[in-house]
Amino acid sequence: MTGTLAEFQQLVNAEDYLEFFGLPYDPTFVNVNRLHILQKFSTLIKAIDAEFPDLNDTEKLERYQAALQQAYNTFTTSSPLTEKLFKVFNEKPPNLVLLSEIGTD
């Protein structure tokens, strides 16, 4: 990886991030899981920035690279439905009554 933080901040799609960090990837896999990988990556970046606010640019990019690899790997072994990164996966339909909500009077 020879890029700068300024260059990183200009990237927009999953392939750009993977190529920036020199990470191998399957284009078909990325095409199917793009939004989920990027959402997981975004969550991990926010955690890095919050936990390590004093990192220099090189250290930050190294952690970001590991975070992107982790985000990518997450969906090679799990599914978007299992990870539930998006709000839609966590909402219950308004007309649904769960068994746990029914009293046993």
Q: What is the pLDDT of residue 83?
A: 54
pLDDT band of residue 100 (cuts 50, 70, 90) is confident
Indicate the pTM of the whole model: 0.75
Q: Whose structure tokens read 């220099």?
A: 56
φ and ψ of 79, to 5 deg: -115, 160
Alpha-carbon span 5 to 71, nearest angstrom: 19
Q: What is the dihedral of CA 71, 76, 80, 86, to 10 degrees?
A: 10
Q: Is 24 strand, coil or helix? A: coil
Give the residue-averaged pLDDT of 67-86: 76
